[in-house]
């Protein structure tokens, strides 16, 4: 394929479960308050799935909306970024593809937790660059509340459930929506800062139920998230030949409003360049960035031609960034 072949964002969709859980509901059963949660996280409410609703359910709806946004009914591959697959084996992506009517296409999961969507975009872009696919559906979906200890006041207020998706098409590097440089990293030595100990092959069944829930060393994670996201964003800006002043929007993983604000400050970006929807959705893990993209496009914060930097940080530890000039796309 030509060297100018690029992955171009051609469709965008998101889906949130209908159940809204506000801070007051959480405060009624845990030792916390609306003020405490808002001050430390910027979150007022989040969406939580009803019993029986799964990651596949959310992913299918977001994927369907992304395809409709692009005016497409077909894709050559489905990449599902999630850390809450419906089962350990097999991956959830093949089921998502089947339910979308994409029978026989390549479909697989990518687990980089909150960085998963950026990793998924890089994977989709690579499939297109290699000539393996011309249209790739990249979905970020998580029922992350399934990993949270319902008695943990440190994590319950933070996380919500949701899904977001984009359809990437083969195009030219000069097209609006063409993904630019990627910057991806990990640091496995720090995995225990943010992890679920039990459930995998190493510790399949633990007698301590707490081992099956997320453990987070919040202050240390905060420091790493701010520094790594800023470093990664600088790297893609340099690769693209953009300056800080060129950036119209920074859309980072919606983990915590203070992390986003600190990252923007470290980058030297104007405060109004940052976009956040965390107040209404909380931290939706791999779904965070595509949901934010859809919301920003819907409310007019993203306009065609805007220079956009996306960055994420998550368990693993993993982090990464990419950028693009925003296309003329109507989200589903």
Collapsing DSSP to helix, strand or coil, 274 comes out as: strand
Q: What is the 3-state secondary structure (H, E, C) of 54-114?
A: CHHHHHHHHHHHHHHHHCCCCCCEEEEECCCCCCCCCCCHHHHHHHCCCCCCEEEEECCHH
Active site residue 283: yes
Return the C-alpha torsion angle 62, 317, 233, 256, nearest 10: 70
Instruction: Choose the catalytic residue: 23, 224, 226, 253.
Output: 253
Q: How far apart are CA 118 and CA 258, in angstroms?
A: 21
Query: Which is catalytic among the residues 114, 256, 263, 277?
Result: 114
189 burial (CB, 10 Å; 0-12 / 13-18 / 19+) is exposed
**Catalytic site residue from 23, 111, 277, 283:** 283
114 is catalytic: yes
Question: What distance in Å separates the CA atoms of residue 196 and residue 148, rounded to the nearest whole number?
Answer: 9
Sign of torsion, CA 295 296 299 303? negative
Catalytic residues, which ones?
114, 253, 283
């Amino acid at each position: 394929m030509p060297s100018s072949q690029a992955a171009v964002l051609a469709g965008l969709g998101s889906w949130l479960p209908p159940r809204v859980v506000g801070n007051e509901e959480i405060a009624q059963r845990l030792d916390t308050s609306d003020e405490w949660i808002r001050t430390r996280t910027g979150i007022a409410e989040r969406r939580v799935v009803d019993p029986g609703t799964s990651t596949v359910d959310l992913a299918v709806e977001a994927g369907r909306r992304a395809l409709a946004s692009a005016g497409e009914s077909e894709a050559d591959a489905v990449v599902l970024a999630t850390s809450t697959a419906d089962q350990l084996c097999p991956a959830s992506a093949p089921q998502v593809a089947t339910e979308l009517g994409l029978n026989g296409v390549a479909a697989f999961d990518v687990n980089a937790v909150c960085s998963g969507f950026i990793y998924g975009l890089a994977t989709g872009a690579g499939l297109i660059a290699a000539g393996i696919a011309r249209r790739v559906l990249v979905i970020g979906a998580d029922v992350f509340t399934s990993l949270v200890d319902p008695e943990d006041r440190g994590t319950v207020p933070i996380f919500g459930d949701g899904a977001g998706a984009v359809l990437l098409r083969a195009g030219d590097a000069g097209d609006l929506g063409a993904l630019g440089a990627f910057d991806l990293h990990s640091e496995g030595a720090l995995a225990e800062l943010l992890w679920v100990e039990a459930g995998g092959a190493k510790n399949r069944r633990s007698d301590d139920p707490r081992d099956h829930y997320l453990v987070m060393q919040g202050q240390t994670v905060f420091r790493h998230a701010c520094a790594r996201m800023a470093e990664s964003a600088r790297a893609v800006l340099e690769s693209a030949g953009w300056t800080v002043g060129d950036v119209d929007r920074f859309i980072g993983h919606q983990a915590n409003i203070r992390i986003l604000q600190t990252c923007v400050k470290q980058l030297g970006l104007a405060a109004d360049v940052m976009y956040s929807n965390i107040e209404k959705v909380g931290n939706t893990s791999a779904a965070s960035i595509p949901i934010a993209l859809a919301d920003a496009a819907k409310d007019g914060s993203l306009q065609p031609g805007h220079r956009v930097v996306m960055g994420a940080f998550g368990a693993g530890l993993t982090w990464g960034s990419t950028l693009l000039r925003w296309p003329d796309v109507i989200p589903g």
